[in-house]
Amino acid sequence: MKYYVGLDVALRSLALCIIDADGKIALERSLLCEIDDVAECIRSFGKPVEMIGFEACPAPIT
């Protein structure tokens, strides 16, 4: 089975979601924007990941 990671990045935190090739959610986490935390979360998933994608946008200016 192929797995894909999506990262929705904000200034201080991010949402991490891993889905399988059928689109079924395998893992969801909220993390701080620390590369070591993100890498450890993906490694601890324990299955090979096919691709990682991310979305990042600035906070709205008010």
Domain ranges of the chain: 3-56
Phi-psi region of 41 (alpha: psi -120 to 50; beta: other; left: phi over 0): alpha
Tokens for 52?
Answer: 């990682």
pLDDT(60) > 90? no
pLDDT per residue over 5-25, tens digit each? 999 988 888 999 999 999 999
The superfamily (CATH) of domain 3-56 is 2-keto-3-deoxy-galactonokinase, substrate binding domain (3.30.420.300)
Phi-psi region of 5 (alpha: psi -120 to 50; beta: other; left: phi over 0): beta
Q: Model's pTM, two decimal places?
A: 0.83
Place of tokens 């946008």: 57
Tokens for 35?
Answer: 């590369």
pLDDT per residue over 31-43, tens digit each? 999 999 999 999 9
